[in-house]
Amino acid sequence: MPVRQDLLEILVCPESQQAVAPAPSDLIARLNADIQAGKLRNRGGSPVEAEIQEGLLRQDGKVLYIVDDSIPVMLIEESIEL
């Protein structure tokens, strides 16, 4: 289930205060290919092992926050730098 619209309207990046929006499916597919290849790490340095179903893309397009079971994980160290 996608993030509720009313929640999306108030969420911002905790680092830059930029707005976030649902990530496009082609970006999610590309990140999932990197996960399968064992190449994707979050900003804390830990490997991302679970397939991404949904994500929130920061307005500047440089950072993705994973959405886990309809809950945005808005922690800087858990985000993915693009």
Pair 27, 57: CB distance under 8 Å: yes
DSSP per-residue string spanning 9-69: TT-B-TTT--BEEEPPHHHHHHHHHHHHTT--B-TTSPBP-SPPSEEEEETTSSEEEEEET
Sign of CA dihedral 66, 68, 74, 77: negative
Question: Which tens digit of pLDDT belongs to each residue from 6-17?
Answer: 999 999 999 999
pLDDT for residue 51? 97
Question: What is the per-residue pLDDT across 43-66, written as a single tens digit (0 to 9) for each?
Answer: 999 999 999 999 999 999 999 999
- At residue 50, the pLDDT reads 96
